[in-house]
Structure 1
Amino acid sequence: MNIESTSLIFFSPTNTTRKIVEGIAQGLQPTSKQYFDLTPPGATGQMRQEFNQDVAIIGAPVYAGRLPSVMLSRFKQIKGNGKPAVLIVVYGNRAYEDALIELRNVAIEAGFKPIAAGAFVGEHSYSTSNKPIAIDQPDTEDMVKAHAFGQAILKKIQTASNIPNEPLYVPGNFPYKEVQMRASIAPSVNEALCSRCGECALVCPTGAIDRENPVSTSKELCIRCCACVKTCPNGAKAFGSRE
């Protein structure tokens, strides 16, 4: 079968995961694409809908070897209706550990049928010019691989007579490894550099930054995604601890 429509479902505070998902979508060559961005705080109410596209590409970043809990709560609003899904995790350091098997399991719970999965390297959220970690990835070579991966999946779909019923095998542990709780922190702000433009508040996926006073960030809501740090035009925000 040919793919008429593809759904791009992702959580991507720094747009790294989104780039990989879009690269794979190009390889699938769909007639149309529909975006389901799980990143903004308002995404929760927008995601309560049935999924009707031919295939979904579901992407998430890896946080401490697992999926972001905020992403999971928003993803569960979508109903897969038995449609095939491509699963993608993006990690910037160490390994993806149990994130991919967790994504497979939650996709199945949501009603999708995973047919392919992959782990890609992307720039780590804490990466800086002084401490580069997978700096500037995905780069051109990464995007070529993402496109080729999409093409391989398209060929698989076109030649397969049906979708296998058995769960797609992916590496990982189940039960998952326990996530170690980390102390609540928020990025520090150099108030001399901060222009109060509010760009950081606009990109924060949990609404942790006060829009009226962007110098203030809730430690309880902050998930250390570094979207605010990457977005700040003046370099006013930083995490003191680079874990």
Structure 2
Amino acid sequence: MKISVVHTIFFSPTHTSLRIADAIAEGMGTCEHKELDITYEKPVKNILIEEGVAVISVPVYGGRVAETAVERLRSIRGNNIPAVVAVVYGNRDYEDALIELRDIAKEQGFIPVSGGAFIGEHSYSRPDRPVAEGRPDKADIDTAFAFGSKTAAFLNDWSGEFIDLQVKGNFPYKVKGNKTPQTPVTISELCTQCGYCIEICPTQSIELQDGIVSDPESCIKCCACVKECPNQARVFETPFTDYLFKNFSSRRDPELFFSYRKI
């Protein structure tokens, strides 16, 4: 098939999944690129993608696809078109996230033909306790670009049928842990109430009351507000940061998978 258009579909509060999606799409060549950002809201109506190739990129939360991303992906369908599925995790483990994303893509009418697990800076990473700080870095982006190029070559010279993409992971998927009510908090002395954190929160869980506060029921702990506050007025402290820093600071590299062609 000749690739006419690449659709990047991403949920990316801290922009790591977006960077991977863009690199994969760029690797696919000079065809038309269309972007579908589901980070900040669910599509207002169901979307059908009828041509080209989709690149679906999402973060891993606790070894599974982020629940908000799953909910929003359910509004997007493919008309039996190939898809690249990519998950981005914070250097610990992606566990069942990639196989879950592959299955979601299939359920939504896409044909997963390649998949990758990439590394992004962990949401809980802090300057004094870095976990995959600065990733995806140049090596990651180069790998994602080459992954896109290989997938494009794989598709451009093929007009047959694909069998199921095999990736790492288990089914039934890992059981998710109980949600904890902790959220980022605001250092009032540093906060100027500019409202930027309200704008970038993917679940609209932040609001201005007497100060900037988060709703623990809707906060997904993506820490976009912590990482992007221009005044460093948002903080999130959890013992899990110490655990990650101690046990998962060694570099991990992307893992890539391709489907076999059915002759």
The alignment's TM-score, normalised by the length of structure 2, stands at: 0.88
Offset of residue 53 of structure 1: 3.3
**Given that residues 191 and 233 in structure 2 are in contact (C-alpha distance below 8 angstroms), is that contact kept between their aligned partners in structure 1?**
yes
How do 1:1-243 and structure 2 match up within 5 A? 1-41=1-41, 43-45=42-44, 48-164=46-162, 166-211=163-208, 215-243=212-240
Q: Deviations over 1:156-213 (max 9, x none)?
A: 012223231x321111110011011131111011000011001101110000001566
- What letter corresponds to residue 194 of structure 2 in structure 1? C
Percent sequence identity is: 42
In structure 2, the gaps of 5 or more residues are: 241-263
SS in 1 for 2:206: coil
Distance in 2 between residues matched to 1:87 and 1:185, nearest whole Å: 31
Cα deviation, 1:15-72, whole Å, max 9, x if unaligned, reads: 011001100101101421111111003x3315x1111230000001000000111111
Q: Please give the secondary structure, in 1, of the residue aligned with 2:214.
A: coil
C-alpha separation in 2, matches of 1:8 and 1:194: 35
Write out per-residue CA displacement over residues 57-108 of structure 1, whole angstroms, 9 at most, x where no aligned residue.
0001000000111111110011111000000000013110000000011100
Secondary structure of 1:86's match?
strand
Tell me which protein shows more strand as a share of its residues. 2
In structure 2, C-alpha distance between the alignment counterparts of 1:154 and 1:239, rounded to whole Å: 41
Q: Is the 2:63–2:97 Cα contact (8 Å) retained in structure 1?
A: yes
Q: TM-score, normalised by structure 1?
A: 0.95
The ranges of structure 1 where at least 4 consecutive aligned residues each deviate by more than 3 angstroms after the TM superposition are 211-214
Equivalenced residue count is: 240
Contact kept, 8 Å, 1:126 with 1:242, in 2: the verdict is: no
